[in-house]
Amino acid sequence: MRIPDLREAADIKGSRQLSRKAVPPTYIPLKNAIFYSMAAAYAEEKGSRYIIGGHNGDDMRVFEDAGDGFFTSMQAALSAASPRLSKNKLEIMRPLRDMGKPEVVALGAALGVPFEYTWSCHRAGERHCWKCAGCKARTKAFKAAGIKDPLRPKKV
């Protein structure tokens, strides 16, 4: 499935006034609506009942489309749009929703997540930039969790 070039709010004129909250520069308009619609199309094709997202409590405080209200409405809209998803009683699950990023990192470490294959950077490239909001949040989360990030270079 191909998707259009999604741009962060900083790249879209007027987008910083689109929300009741201050819109962070990393906001991509309707990103979760697009991604969960794609996941629902796949779930419908496969006959799945669940869509599982990795949004955490920190995301919910920053992005309106990562909160309970959004996902309740999204689940209802997707079920209404698809007789198969409705019949299967589609459920969007977010098992990390009550955890902060450091708690997610600690859980990942306990479960043996191969963090060397994870990506947090908001910029294109082969390596993390360690300067954008995603990289800064990653650094802060690993530090707060007391876990060494295998991607973090010694000097940044």
Q: Are residues 8 and 85 in the same domain?
A: yes
Taking residues 96-123, what's their average pLDDT?
Answer: 95
- Same domain assignment for residues 26 and 89: yes
pTM of the prediction?
Answer: 0.78
- Which of 66, 133, 134, 147 has its CA nearest to residue 105? 147
- Determine the Cα–Cα distance for residues 130 and 152; give it in Å rounded to an integer: 8
Residue given tokens 């489309």 in the structure block: 65
Structural domain total, the chain: 2
Q: Work out the pLDDT band at 22, boundaries 50, 70, 90.
A: low
Domain with residue 39: its CATH number is: 3.40.50.620
* β partners of residue 50: 91
CB 138 within 8 A of CB 102: no
Say whether both 70 and 118 belong to one domain.
no
- Res 156 pLDDT > 60: no
Domain shared by 83 and 112, yes or no: no
Average pLDDT for 4-19? 53
Residue 109 and residue 61 share a domain: no
**Does residue 55 sit in the same domain as residue 95?**
yes
Task: Please state which of the ranges 2-16, 66-80, 97-111, 137-151 shows the lowest mean pLDDT.
Answer: 2-16
List the structure tokens of 93: 């699950």
d(CA 23, CA 74): 21
Domain of residue 2 covers 1-99
Do 90 and 30 fall within a single domain?
yes
pLDDT of residue 7: 55
Res. 155: pLDDT tops 80: no
pLDDT tens digits along 25-77: 777 788 899 999 999 999 999 999 999 999 999 988 888 899 999 999 999 99
CB distance 108 to 142 below 8 Å = no
* Token pair for 99: 């955890």
Share of the chain above pLDDT 90, in %: 66
Closest CA to 74 of 20, 34, 29: 34
- Within 10 Å of residue 74's Cβ, how many Cβ atoms? 19
Percent residues over pLDDT 70 in the chain: 84
